[in-house]
Chains A and B, each alone.
Chain A
Amino acid sequence: MIATTPAIELRGIHKAFRFFTLQEVSLELSPGQIMGFVGPNGAGKSTTIRILMGLLTADAGHVRVLGRAMPQEQALAKRDIGFVSDDMRLFGNATLAWHMKFVERTYAKWDSRYAAQLLSRFNLQAEQPIKGLSRGEHVKALLLLVLARRPRLLVLDEPTSGLDPVARQEVLSELMDVLQDEDRSILFSSHNTADVERISDQITFIDRGRIVDSRDKETFLERWRRIELHVRDGVKLPDVPSVVDVNGTGRVATVTTNYYTPELHRIYERAGVEIHEVQRMSLEEIFVANVMSSRKERAR
């Protein structure tokens, strides 16, 4: 395999604010992939995204996006990046058509036919003034403006927030369409873990300024399990290193493991504990369990 330049490369990012610090944040996105960036509010998702876009300068660490150092080479890098943030706004005193013309003149690539398709798919009117748009329509307008440019990298901070279910599905369709080109990549942060679970190749969890876990989705889904155990009286539950949470003190205990293997069955059997049921976990459950266990670790 030929080593290719990562689409995004963050190493050891540190950024201190008055009430919050981003620490040791490292992240890598390979071209052709989509990474879901998940974290509670205030975890540092937007800060990380702004640092990688060159809008904030980190105190330490190194940032390369599409091979370019940020923030120094951001003018060049941003030619190939489409950035949408849910707190971003267009100019209220102009129309969507005005913005489309503006973007067309600014960038090398603009697909007007695709833009027209998106207008109808997203149910937007080009001649409508921006100040008349609802929040959801505003986000769709921002997405239209980046999608029609077909940039190599899409960086989206909460792209589906405020969207109705129909619009959300349209957006997800367009995002998956982007990935038909294996040179194009997407980083998106979202609270909608169902969407993240469905379309992400890679998933990164962040909490309280630190990366909690980052790996490919299928591995996450294969490794995490919730196991219901039947513990007979007098039998003690064995200490298993991959078990991050134990719940229940009666005859039924539920353990959460972050690395499920058949070996676990043997361990419990040997300890005289019966495995009643092994359940897969949704990404949301994995995320919550992961964050809780990492907070416990840090508190120690």
Chain B
Amino acid sequence: MNDVSHATTRALVLRLMAKDVYLNRQTMFAALIGGLASLIIASTSGIGYSIGSISFITTMMAFGVVLAMFSIAQERKDRSGMFVLSLPLAPMDYVRAKLLGTTLTYFIPWSVLSAGAVLVIPLTPLPDGAMPMTVLLLVYFLLTFSVMALVALLVSSEAKTTLAIIATNMSLTFFMFGISRIHGIGWGLDRKETPTWSGSFFAVLAAELAVIAITFAIPMCFNLRKKEFL
């Protein structure tokens, strides 16, 4: 009996994840278009690069915020979360399904745009030596998203969630500044033309992936003792 119920719960979680992707299809499409347009602009002249890179970063961050606020927090506010809770699952299954579903929704455009960003670098005025830092930055987008998603899921106060979202977004600037100072990553004034994948690069990458993994592990592995899910 237990195997059957686990299988059905898993099937339901998968269906809920598909639902998240489906319901956010328009937002995903907008992010994809915005991101691709930014990459195209960035690969043009010098000013184009500045405009393109800023709008690329904005697109990635905004997409994450919209998903965290509108897909997750909104479901609590407008009570469609209640509909999901009426389904045959435990509240923690709902948290997991929502986290996985929203992350999948972010991941699809993110992976396309990240691949695009790395491939576009040879076309931009940016030296190819900037590739490692770019990769770390792209992974940082994913990191900020998973943190925002987790907070939006677990914190019922809209004010606190907004604060967390602002804080994670601000941390991007600090991160960029921080890693550019690390000798093995930033390309400094010598404007290297070939990318170097140094030990520091892999260390930072590992740290980023670890944070993302932990953010996922919290609701997936622990049955958080939340007494109210509304």
Which A positions have Cβ atoms within 8 angstroms of B?
50, 53-57, 71, 74-79, 81-85, 87-94, 102, 105-107, 142
C-alpha gap A89/B93 in the complex (Å): 19
Q: Quick check: which of B31-39, B153-161, B222-230 contacts chain A, the rest being far away? A: B222-230
**Residue pair A105, B15 in contact (C-beta under 8 Å):** yes
**Residue pair A55, B83 in contact (C-beta under 8 Å):** no
**What are the interface flags for B18-32 relative to A under an 8 Å C-beta threshold, 1 for contact and 0 otherwise?**
010011001000000
Nearest 6 pairs between A and B by C-beta?
A83-B86, A78-B88, A88-B82, A79-B88, A57-B227, A89-B79
C-alpha gap A105/B89 in the complex (Å): 14
8 Å CB interface, B178-218 against A: none
Say yes or no: is B221 at the interface (Cβ < 8 Å to chain A).
Answer: no
- Determine the chain A residues whose CB is within 8 A of the CB of B168 once the complex forms: none
**Residue pair A106, B12 in contact (C-beta under 8 Å):** yes
Say yes or no: is B90 at the interface (Cβ < 8 Å to chain A).
Answer: yes
What are 29 A-B contacts with C-beta separation under 8 Å? Answer: A54-B90, A54-B91, A55-B91, A56-B227, A56-B228, A57-B228, A71-B91, A74-B90, A75-B9, A75-B88, A75-B89, A75-B90, A76-B5, A77-B88, A78-B88, A78-B89, A79-B88, A81-B86, A83-B86, A88-B82, A89-B78, A89-B82, A91-B19, A93-B26, A94-B19, A94-B23, A102-B19, A105-B15, A142-B83
Say yes or no: is B120 at the interface (Cβ < 8 Å to chain A).
Answer: no
**What are the interface flags for B80-105 relative to A under an 8 Å C-beta threshold, 1 for contact and 0 otherwise?**
10110111111101000000000000
- Determine the chain B residues whose CB is within 8 A of the CB of A82 once the complex forms: 86
CB distance from B226 to the nearest CB of A (A): 9
C-alpha gap A224/B229 in the complex (Å): 41
**Residue pair B82, A94 in contact (C-beta under 8 Å):** no
- Determine the chain A residues whose CB is within 8 A of the CB of B93 once the complex forms: 75
- B-side interface residues, number (CB < 8 Å): 25
Closest to A105 in B: B15
- Determine the chain A residues whose CB is within 8 A of the CB of B90 once the complex forms: 54, 71, 74-75
- Determine the chain B residues whose CB is within 8 A of the CB of A78 once the complex forms: 86-89
Closest to B23 in A: A93
Closest to A81 in B: B86
**Residue pair A88, B86 in contact (C-beta under 8 Å):** yes
C-alpha gap A270/B80 in the complex (Å): 63
Most buried by B among A77, A83, A102: A102
8 Å CB interface, B154-177 against A: none
Closest to A146 in B: B86
Closest to A103 in B: B87
The residue from A57, A77, A87 contacting B79, defined by CB atoms under 8 A apart: A87
CB distance from B25 to the nearest CB of A (A): 8
**Residue pair B86, A53 in contact (C-beta under 8 Å):** yes
C-alpha gap A56/B23 in the complex (Å): 27
The residue from B22, B85, B87 contacting A94, defined by CB atoms under 8 A apart: B22
C-alpha gap A81/B79 in the complex (Å): 19
Most buried by B among A50, A91, A105: A91
